[in-house]
Amino acid sequence: MPRLSADQRHEVRFTLNGHPVCGRAGPRLLLSDFLRHEIGATGTHVGCEHGVCGACTVQVDGMLTRACLTLAVQVEGASVRTVEGLAPEPDRLSALQAAFRRNHALQCGFCSAGILMSLDAFLKAHPEPDEAEIRDLLSGHLCRCTGYTPIVRAALEAAAEIQNSQRELTQGETAHA
Amino acid sequence: MPGMLDVTRETGWVGRAIERVEDAALLSGGGRYLDDLGVRPGTLHMAILRAPHAHADIRAIDTAAARAVAGVVAVLTGADVARLTAPLVVGVKAPVECWPMAVDRVRYVGEPVALVVAQDRYLAEDALDLIEVSYETRPAVVDPLDALAEGAPLLHDGFPRNLASDRRFRYGDPEQAFAQADRTVSISVSYPRNSCTPIETYGLVAEYDPHEDAYDVLANFQGPFSIHAVISRALKVPGNRLRLRTPRDSGGSFGVKQGIFPYIVLGAVAARATGHPVKWIEDRLEHLMASVSATNRATTLRAAVTADGRVTALDYDQVEDCGAHLRAPEPATLYRMHGNLTGAYAIANVAVRNRVVVTNKCPTGLNRGFGGPQVYFALERLMQRIAIELGLDPLEVIRRNLIPADAFPYRTAPGALLDSGNYQATLAKGVAEGGLAALRARRDAARAEGRLYGIGFAAVVEPSVSNMGYIATVLTPAERRKAGPKNGAQATATVAIDPVGAVSVHVASVPQGQGHRTVLAQVVADVLGLTPRDIRVNAEMDTAKDAWSIASGNYSSRFAAAVAGAAKIAADRIAQRLARIAAAQLNVPVEEVVFEGGKLRARSNAANALAFSRVAALSHWSPAQLPEGTAPTIRETAFWTPPELTAADEADHINSSLCHGFIFDYCGIEIDRDTAEIRIDRYVTAHDCGTILHPGMVDGQIRGGFAHALGAALLEEFAYGPDGSFLTGTLADYLVPTAMEVPEPVILHTETPSPFTPLGAKGVGEGNCMSTPACLANAVADALGVADLRLPLSPSSLAPLIHGAEPAAPAGIAAPTPAPSGGKGERLMRGEGKAHVRAAPEAIWAMLLDPDTLAAIIPGAHGVSRVSDTAFRADVTLGIGPVKGRYKAEVSLSDLEPPRAVTLRGRVEGNLGFGGGSGAITLTPDDTGGTHLAYRYEAFVGGKVASVGGRLLDGAAKVIIGQFFAALARKAAGGSAPAPSLLSRILAPLTSLFRRRAP
């Protein structure tokens, strides 16, 4: 592990949403501040800076991570995924994002980035979740606008849709074979 | 509008739950919240030093060390701020001053004391640590009724007995009604402090132009823009030299971001003092501790009732706690509901005493529900008590008192003009479609099994679109005459058409996530025969360029009723002119012009049509071709204020709001007998909010309000120690509902359009904050058969109601010590322990009296200096949880019995908090040349450390003290003291446990 000097900024190279990026960070700079103000990826939001609200949740090497409790220098060489990387195209939404919009699963949208990142990782690991599992996952996030139910509904709907499209994909492949 | 064309609409976007135009960006990381916008090069960052004491005089502030830090540009204190500003306006006539930063005296934990402006936020926060403030503490008062008591500590000389206002009101003949009543039923309640805590905190960027003496501030402020006048006055500039802008997106507000305005003044002053733009982003601790809070209120409410449960009179005694300063627009929370003190009921006689007190807590301000939760918790709890005391069904008592359906518009005794409604029909629908009968059966079944199951009801009127004049009801009629009349609720909207006929809408509504842009696109699309996609809505606010007025902003649920209505009026006016233009070209009478599918066409002949864009662009390209007398269609701004919102009259009647929705709620809850946890079995909320513009958003507002209310009812409270210490400084201490706690309410609608609003819509965003706490409490009261309940209904508050008081300890077992508190109520801890040291008592004795040894074994000590043989002074850096800072410690030794016993007393004080304690140490030699060491300590902590680390302190005390002695033992055995472990660094503030302030 490299030794970092406290009064210097260090180059941090990592992959952000599949693209290599590089920025400079002092050893105490939070990943949340680094992503937002150094890299310019402002989609990740900061709500409490003590790890409770979940707004700053990102994926670091596939692991759900509170960016406000992570130092920027910790992501050296890592693969970081943020809300900016969810949509398949700049003018389209992923199935999960579209389900959020359809179900009014956001109002102010400030907490949404963290919730989307958690659900994105969760649905990959648990493709057929039930409501209790979704609620359990969401308990790591605070939303003050929606009352959560539309988020639960969006997550369940997105899970079903992702399952269906994968099934169709598999069937399509079988048919072609 | 008289004289307005009834432009025929053949499309209907309003009323449909279309997808929101806002969402794609918000879901993709493309939001434009304040902190996402970037800043000009050279922008500096502000951090604020805050008071650790609830009440203290500032004796001195030494900023030299902070100023000397590289990267720090300025340090300002209250005196500096006072030099550059005027005090903030206070809402009552009294000789008191309210400053955004403490001058000479702090009155609540978290009050700004100094600010640092530096090159980045990290440096600014570092420098806060180096500011030394010397305080002389005063006794604090936290409870509003205590504040009124004889001999209570006084906060402001201008508020004798801490009383900022004391007004009595009388409507009808309450004395006679009480004299003739069959029964009098009364209830006393204390509504606690809480806040809707948006996930985005306050933020601002301020600039100052010295050449024009003008400020430009971008802030996530939410209105009302009457506050703009308060800010410009504080900054001593005319309003046209304070440009206040808001970003496109806001991370929630719920009223709370009205309270940023004192910080706008601070940021503006910092920009002026440094000559640079200054940015400030509030952190969560600051937000919870010192942004703003809803008021807590102590209410005694009496009702005169007939034997069959009809209420003939109400007598309110409300004591409103506005915290340490009466900041604008307070005491508005108390008067927002003034016209609605009779709720949904026809009660002709009302007596009111309204007192406003100040206490050593955070100043209050706007918060979702704004006065409604406080009023209805008293009123709806009382309605249940009436039923119980009269042996009637609570629902029947509600029914018998509802305002008759044929009585609208209905003038309440205190003066509200209830616009429309059919409360009986909404209630009947709620009962039938919500499944009340099944719920009652479930209660019977549960009770038959011995379970604790209860049903609660609440019926409330939800006011919206505040009359800007209601606040003046706090003044006497004579004072009002002097101040001049205040009334109305100006809403503004602008519809503009560009040279290719594309339509834009600008509003001064400052949305905070409600989806205003979508609804406005629907409203205007309907008028102009376009689709919402054709309309671009800009809801960013800029006081230098936009049409706005004092009522602009996002509060009192005014959007659907007022702002969307103003947009409709502006669009109607443009449509009227476009129809004239088209009529001339289509050769049909203007009444025959239809807006449909992007065309203006003849009603009877679809082929006789013109493209909307062609007609719309005419004013740009060929104004000479406009029909005579037709104004251009380039831009139309509508100002709308309802004539019903008149000023308070000489008898203090006030129509405090324009619209009045109705909500009938009931719920079934079960309380776990063992854990006292509440499970909501079913919650039904039946609403009438007039015409529904967007069903998805309306239900979203209801669900969101319900979740906030559930938090207020079951979880949330800004807790203060008796000394005014703030105890809930993190979201792990101030608990808000998660997805695990919030069930889906059953939402039902009836629609009685408001005759007073352009679209028939009423507000809907705050109602459940008013109804749900009372409804849940009524259910709990029903389940437990108790009369007195205090929110939040936490398991620990319900357990004694289920199990009775804690029984005495069985014989032979020591009773648990009740949670102790310090002399002034600080968090207090006690403990004891033992250690064995391989050195003789004499050697240990020498070590304890040696500064170098102490420096080596006290974690975080920078140096210990000897003041006298028995007194030491030390600088220590301590961190607990997110709170790390420097403290000054003073330690004295007493009760010396060398080398057998000594008592260490001391006190630490720093910007993050204060603490103290005493430790009695006894040294007993063993047989092997070693020493048995025993200690017993008492300690207290206050300030920021107590507010964020409260949960950790007790357990941490034991660990850290053990480590101190472990280090002592190692040192005595000849080793060097080890570096403190991570745990000890986290828990390090507890080294303060060895020190205690002299009693």
pLDDT of residue B167: 98
B845 and B919 housed in the same domain: yes
- Count the domains in chain B: 4
| Domain extents in chain A | 10-85, 95-172
What is the pLDDT, as a whole number, of residue B553? 95
Q: Phi then psi for B771, rounded to 5 degrees? A: -90, -40
> What pLDDT does B741 receive?
97
pLDDT at B976 over 60: no
Same domain, B670 and B611: no
Is A151 near chain B, with CB under 8 Å? yes
Do residue B47 and residue B19 come from a single domain?
Answer: no
Only one residue has tokens 């549960």, namely: B446
Q: Considering only CA atoms, which of B643, B879, B754, B788 is closest in space to residue B190? A: B788
Q: Does A43 touch chain B (CB under 8 A)?
A: yes
Do B880 and B959 belong together in one domain? yes
CB pairs under 8 A between A and B: 173
pLDDT of residue B918 exceeding 90, the answer is no
Measured CA to CA, the distance from residue B941 to residue B991 in angstroms comes to 11
Q: How many other CB atoms sit within 10 Å of the CB of residue A112?
A: 31
Each residue of B477-518: pLDDT tens digit? 999 999 998 999 999 999 999 999 999 999 999 999 999 999
Six-digit token string for B930: 């070693």
Question: Among B521-525, B595-599, B926-930, which stretch is predicted with the lowest mean pLDDT?
Answer: B926-930
Confidence at residue B821, expressed as pLDDT on a 0 to 100 scale: 46
Pair B498, B599 in one domain: yes
Tens of pLDDT, residues B661-717: 999 999 999 999 999 999 999 999 999 999 999 999 999 999 999 999 999 999 999
pLDDT in tens, B848-905: 888 888 888 876 777 788 888 888 888 877 666 556 677 788 888 888 898 899 888 8
Neighbouring C-beta atoms of residue B491, cutoff 10 Å: 30
Q: Are residues B501 and B636 in the same domain?
A: yes
Give a yes or no: residue B599 inside a domain: yes
Counting Cα atoms < 13 Å in the Cβ hemisphere of B93 gives 11
Distance CA B244, CA B220 (A): 10
Mutate: best of A145, A153, A157, partner B, most B CBs <10 A: A145
Of the candidates A100, A110, A139, the beta carbon closest to that of B252 is on: A110
Last residue of a domain, one of B290, B309, B333: B290
Q: Which residue of chain B comes nearest to A111, CA vs CA?
A: B199
| Residues B223 and B268 reside in one and the same domain | yes
Task: Identify all chain B residues contacting A82, using CB atoms and an 8 Å cutoff.
Answer: 29
Query: What is the greatest pairwise CA distance in chain B?
Result: 119
Does residue B61 lie within any of the structural domains?
Answer: yes
Tell me how far CA of residue B758 lies from CA of B287, B496, B516, B522, B570, in angstroms.
38, 20, 16, 15, 11
Cite the beta strand spans of A31-174 per DSSP E.
57-60, 63-66, 79-81
Q: Which of B16, B20, B21, B23 to mutate to test the interface with A (most CBs of A within 10 A)?
A: B23
For residues B711 and B623, membership in a common domain is answered with: no
Instruction: Note whether B751 and B783 are same-domain residues.
Output: yes
pLDDT of residue B826: 58
Fold of A95-172: DNA polymerase; domain 1 (1.10.150)
A135·B739 Cβ contact <8 A: yes
Chain B residues within an 8 Å CB radius of A49: 283-284, 882
CA of A138, closest CA in chain B: separation in Å? 6
Q: Is residue B557 domain-resident?
A: yes
CATH of residue B854's domain is 3.30.530.20
Q: A170-174, B102-106, B128-132: which range is least confident on average?
A: A170-174
pLDDT band of B827, cuts 50, 70, 90? low
Q: For residue A81, what are its two tokens?
A: 């995924």
pLDDT at residue number B956: 67
Q: Average per-residue pLDDT in chain B?
A: 91
User: Any idea what the CATH number is for the domain that residue B261 is in?
Assistant: 3.90.1170.50
**CB burial of residue B6 (10 Å; 0-12, 13-18, 19+):** exposed
Residues from chain A that touch B882, judged by Cβ atoms under 8 A, are 49-50
Distance in angstroms (rounded) separating the CA atoms of residues A155 and A10: 39
Query: Is B703's CB within 8 Å of A146's CB?
Result: yes
Q: Which of B640, B668, B691 is the last residue of a domain?
A: B640
Please name the residue of chain B whose CA is at the shortest distance from the CA of residue A153.
B744
Query: Is the per-residue pLDDT at B981 higher than 60?
Result: no
Asked if B33 lies within 8 A of A104 by C-beta distance, the reply is no
Do both B635 and B673 map to the same domain? no
The Cα B49–Cα A2 span in angstroms is 35
Judged by CB atoms closer than 8 Å, whether chains meet at B731 and A108 is answered as no
3-state secondary structure B276-322: CCEEEECCHHHHHHHCCECCEEEEEEEEEECCCCCEEEEEEEEEEEC
Nearest CA in chain A to B196: A144
Residue pair B747/B767 in contact (Cβ under 8 Å)? The answer is no
- CATH number of B534's domain: 3.30.365.10
Instruction: Report which of B113, B136, B138 is spatially closest to residue B55, judged by C-alpha positions.
Output: B138
| Average pLDDT score over residue span B636-658 | 97
Task: Mark whether B131 and B255 lie in a shared domain.
Answer: yes
Q: What's the CATH architecture for A10-85?
A: Roll (3.10)
Distance from CA of A114 to the nearest CA of B (A): 10
Looking at the structure, tell me whether residues B671 and B628 fall in a common domain: no
Chain A: give the shortest CA distance to residue B757, in Å: 25
Say if residue B824's pLDDT is above 50: no
Does B645 reside within a domain?
A: no
The confidence score (pLDDT) of residue B869 equals: 82
As a whole-number percent, the residues of chain B with pLDDT over 70 amount to 92
- Across the interface, do B732 and A52 touch by the CB < 8 Å criterion? yes
Q: pLDDT tens across B432-470, in order?
A: 999 999 999 999 999 999 999 999 999 999 999 999 999
Cis peptide before B532 (omega within 30 of 0): no
The shortest CB-CB distance from B28 to any of A87, A143, A148 is to A87
Selected residues 19-38 of chain A with any CB under 8 Å from a CB in chain B: 26, 28-29, 36
> Residues B366-383: what's their mean pLDDT?
98
Q: Cis check for the bond before B224: say yes or no (omega within 30 of 0).
A: yes
Comparison of pLDDT for B118 and B838, the residue scoring more: B118
Query: Residue B622 belongs to what domain range?
Result: 8-28+490-640
A28-83: pLDDT as tens digits? 999 999 999 999 999 999 999 999 999 999 999 999 999 999 999 999 999 999 99
Determine, yes or no, domain membership for B972.
Answer: yes
Give the C-alpha separation, B917 to B939, whole Å. 4
